[in-house]
Chains A and B, each alone.
Chain A
Amino acid sequence: MRKKLFSAAVCGSALLLAITGCSTTSGNGTKDDGATGSGTGADCVIKSAVPISAAFSLTGAAAQYGASQKNALELAVEDLNKVGGVTYELTVEDDATDPKQAIQVFDTLIASGAAVIIGPTLSNTAKQTNPIAQDAKVPVLGVSNTAAGITEIGDYIFRDSLTEDAVIPQTIKAAVETLDVKKVVVMYSNDDAFTESGYQAFAAALKDEGVDIADTLTFSKADTDFRALLNKAKKSDADAIVVSGLIDAAVPLVTQAREIGIDTPIIGGNGFNSPALIKGAGKAAEGVIVGAAWNSASDNEQNVKFIEDYTAKFDAAPDQFSAQAYAGLQIIDHAVRAECSAEREAIKAGLGDITDVPTVLGDVSLNENRDAVHDALVQVVKDGKFAILE
């Protein structure tokens, strides 16, 4: 027994050693190895590579989003390293769609000397991880967090993803102007942070535009049968149905609405902004109006090239998540070159001054709340494609 105890102790200490042994990278790796370069903007030259880290959900429930974000970042690093002067070294870590994992990932990324952290994929995860970066004074750029309260965490937290608060008023305004909507029924899933804040934005925007809300109906993000709710909505004789739901709910909801004979426009939140809607709902998706931060139909020159390159490299069309991730690195590149430094403080200062930077999303600025400002696109499904609503 004594022998067994001894061997257990040896194994235990070996494990501990393995953990400590591998953690010798110092916490301030960006300080003294030529992180600051010479020149500014396009002329900026930094000798050593700028360490960029990202924490995305590569496995788990949000894996599909994380995968496109990772692809887009890889493409962006490739493109930006071609420009010369500044090179980027990308580390992408997986948070497994688990906030507890994400907390550990942030610890690791901060300790390994990341100049800036991109991510995490989900807003509720960001609420747990970003305070860690804020405490360690490491700038974070969210590329898909749309919930309220993210950038309020601190002055090191930025995002290039338009919040529902920014997109939805534009969507409602466009819908009211083009379709003369006066009375709507609102439906939303109340057990998801993203769709619930989307609902709040819709409610506020509808009030601002003076649209009547005939009824508000809630469902669960796991629901797939909406017929009972839709029948109720049909009876209220509204001009449009406003829905804040995830794509999993969008497809059956839209299909079932058309089935029971609702032919009024359906206005969706960002959850509806996915090619999967058209693919899944087919003809039923015609006439669905969606506001979005990005649209594949946008004729922005950078965007056209991005879609071409992405499709060629990954053999799949990019979505909004990849576009925002790609734009994120463009914004960081701008911030690094502005101060021509890869130090965390410099990048933070640079991110604070982002004004009308041309990206795949269009010209992006970060406002005094460190939130993104750019034009949203209001689209309508027409002939099996997203088209700009006019």
Chain B
Amino acid sequence: MLVEYSSLITLIALTAILAFSFYAVLIAGQLSLAQLGLASLAAFTSSLVVPDEPLFGFIPPLAVGIVFGMCVGILAAFILGLPVIRLRGVFLAIATLAFGEMVRIFLINQTWTNGAQGLGFPKLVGIEVAWIALIVVAYWFWRLSGSRMGRAFAAIREDELAATTMGINVARYRMASFVIAGAVAGLYGVLLAYFSRFADPNEFSFTAAVDGLVTAVVGGVTLFVGPLLGSVFLSVLPELQRLLGINAGWIRPTISGVLLLVVILFLPGGLSGLIPRRKSAKRLVANPALRPDLPALPAPGTELVSLQGIGKSYGGVHAVRSVDLSVQAGEVLGLIGPNGAGKTTLVNMVTGLTPPSTGTGVVLGAALTAGTKAHRLAQSGVARTFQQIKLFNRLSALENVLVGGYRITHDTLLRRLLFLPSARRFEREAVAMASAQLIRVGLGDKAANAAGDLSYGDQRRLEIARALASHPSLLVLDEPAAGMNHVEAGRLSELIRSLAADGIAVLVIEHNVRMMLATCDRIMVLNFGEVIASGKPADIARDPKVLEAYLGSAGNDADVEAASVLAAENLAEVAVELAREHEQGPDAVIGDDAEPNGAAEPEDKR
């Protein structure tokens, strides 16, 4: 059996290694077709350095080839990555495809590769070597999947922008996945050449790249065994048909094609979707003792955001003009104004997503310039939610929050590879921290649900929990109450007050003016990119300019509602009453609306 099928078994391992190379980029949401180019570069250059005899008497020639080939793969992937890493989707696929073709033509025209006639290699790879290599690669990806790096890849795959605002350096991680794929591709190239004893550049063609991609996709990218399953499936199919006595010819590829179609149609997650996933990453760790020790937040009153004359214009359109803004630790600053007033543009500048056109600003000690990176600000303690919900939809609620904890957790990949006890401890700390945030926003019982399956209000809350998981000094909430009813909005208001009480500076945009008047310490009103009023909620509510701004842009539901809150409900009285209640504490404000059971009561105030 072993003799007859030794080549088949070896090739299953080699094909799986190639599929892992595609897997490495797919898990970070990138479609690269450069793998075969990298593999052939590695294979042919390794022929130049592999010695006939063991190096220094004990290093086997193949080991030299493997190490060298992987280095070539890493280096080539890095150099290729520098220009193409900014490309996305189909553009990246085309650019990397072109690279593969360039490599093929380059190698064909070199004398040392013997051109299209190919190069002979000694046979150094058999079943054992191939499977050991596969096991090492699979082990690496297995340990990667639960590490912080693995979570960062998943986050980038699901939503790059959200990942950036969690403090993840997207460009660096994308490059990392590219380089990892390069290393694995280099390994594949060397192993294949020294297994098949011959290689010509035409073998590492576009067709072969597509085969590798198909293997990875059929196997599935949700689980590390996917590439192996894909490889077994595709390699065994022709052999199985041969055994079943199906005659050689067109009928075999047809059957294989139909089965492939069936898998793609009915198993969107690939073959690995059939394997039940381990549930541990979905379990909460509620024990507060397991939470990590976190650095203290800035003392209340410390100025965290300071903007002077900040402005943003797109061509002739001034979205924001000359705004001064200051946010202190422990306060809730509200930002209201009609639609299109420039509120989101302003917070995008504060969180580093949009560089300001004019003015200066400092956020948590970092100056806002064209070169300010959102992930850097996030790492220094800015967290935010989005007006359009940006969750990692295919990840569970808990996993979403775990990604949010990127900033305060350790990278555990190396520790996980060595099974160090500290890896387990760090992971548990991260889960404990994430669990606490989930419970705090009232999603403790939905930890295992996929984020995309949650209700709208729950998704809003999950976004807040994810932002909180980074232990931020400054929390920016962009319309957190959108789509919430009175009761939910009341609980949210309570939550925001409790966060401020913890010492977090909260900058919140909201159309629910009633809630804003109740929640904020200070409110700034923007209209047409300019601040038209700023001050205590009571003063804002009485300001005729504010009412005018809202009435002036009628025709929009949210604005009409806001105006009606301001005008119809006896504006001044409401404001005075609310201001009085406000001084008595946040609970009294929503006392009328909130359910008496106190379900939204934060269970763990730090």
Chain A interface (Cβ < 8 Å from any Cβ of B): 1, 4-5, 8, 15, 18-20, 22-23, 27, 58-59, 92-94, 96, 99-101, 103-104, 106-108, 110-111, 124, 127-128, 131-132, 147-149, 190-193, 195-197
Contacts and interface: CB of A to CB of B under 8 A. Distances in A.
Interface stretch (B138-146, B193-201, B317-325): B193-201
B117 A132 contact: no
A165 B96 CA distance: 39
Contact of A196 (B115, B197, B243): B115
Which secondary structure dominates where chain B touches chain A? helix
B4 A23 contact: yes
Interface in B48-95: none
A128 B8 contact: no
- Bin the interface of chain B by size: 35 or more
Contact of A4 (B105, B196, B276): B276
Nearest to B245: A22
Contact of A94 (B15, B203, B252): B252
Contacts of B196: 99-100, 103, 128
B202 A23 contact: no
B7 A191 contact: no
A106 B4 CA distance: 9
Given A59-B253, A190-B108, A192-B202, A107 B275 contact: no
B117 A191 contact: no
Contacts of A124: 117-118, 198, 200, 202-203
Contacts of B197: 127-128, 131
Interface string B1-15: 101111110010001
B115 A59 contact: no
A100 B116 CA distance: 18
A361 B202 CA distance: 32
B486 interface: no
B116 A192 contact: yes
B308 interface: no
Contacts of B202: 124, 191-193
A100 B11 contact: yes
A93 B247 CA distance: 8
A8 B196 CA distance: 32
Contacts of B253: 59, 96
A93 B200 contact: no
Given A107-B7, A131-B197, A58 B240 contact: no
A22 B243 contact: yes
A99 B7 CA distance: 12
Contacts of B201: 191
Nearest 3 interchain pairs by C-beta:
A94-B248, A111-B4, A127-B198
A148 B117 contact: yes
Contacts of B1: 19-20, 23
B274 interface: yes
B445 to A, nearest CB: 21
Nearest to B4: A111
Contacts of A108: 4, 239, 242
A107 B108 CA distance: 30
B109 interface: yes
B250 interface: yes
A107 B242 contact: no
A147 B115 CA distance: 13
22 contacts: A5-B276, A8-B275, A19-B1, A19-B236, A20-B1, A23-B5, A27-B3, A59-B249, A59-B253, A100-B15, A108-B4, A111-B3, A124-B118, A127-B118, A127-B198, A131-B197, A190-B109, A190-B116, A191-B108, A193-B115, A193-B118, A193-B202
Contacts of B109: 190
B545 interface: no
Interface in B349-372: none
Given A107-B4, A108-B4, A190 B249 contact: no
A124 B119 CA distance: 10
Contact of A132 (B7, B238, B240, B252): B7
Nearest to B120: A127
Contacts of B275: 8
B116 A59 contact: no
A374 B27 CA distance: 58
B117 A104 contact: no
B123 A107 contact: no
A103 B248 contact: no
A168 to B, nearest CB: 16
Contacts of A15: 236
Contacts of B248: 58, 92-94
Contacts of A128: 196-198
B5 A107 contact: yes
Nearest to B239: A104
A148 B5 CA distance: 29
Given A108-B242, A196-B117, 15 more contacts: A18-B240, A19-B240, A23-B5, A27-B4, A59-B252, A93-B248, A103-B11, A104-B11, A104-B238, A107-B5, A107-B6, A127-B197, A191-B108, A193-B115, A193-B200
Contacts of A92: 248
A101 B238 CA distance: 9
A93 B238 CA distance: 11
A195 B248 CA distance: 29
A19 B239 CA distance: 9
A78 B200 CA distance: 38
B50 to A, nearest CB: 18
A148 B120 CA distance: 12
Nearest to B275: A8
A96 B108 contact: no
Interface in B229-274: 236, 238-240, 242-243, 248-250, 252-253, 274
A131 B115 contact: no
A112 B275 CA distance: 36
Contact of A96 (B117, B203, B238): B238
Nearest to B250: A59
Nearest to A7: B274
A101 B117 CA distance: 20
A20 B196 CA distance: 24
Nearest to A112: B4
Contact of A99 (B123, B203, B249): B203
Contacts of A190: 108-109, 115-116
A33 B286 CA distance: 74
B484 to A, nearest CB: 37
B249 A191 contact: no
Contacts of A22: 243
Contacts of A106: 7
Contacts of A195: 116
B56 to A, nearest CB: 29
Nearest to B104: A191
A148 B117 CA distance: 9
Interface string B267-292: 00000001110000000000000000
B156 to A, nearest CB: 30
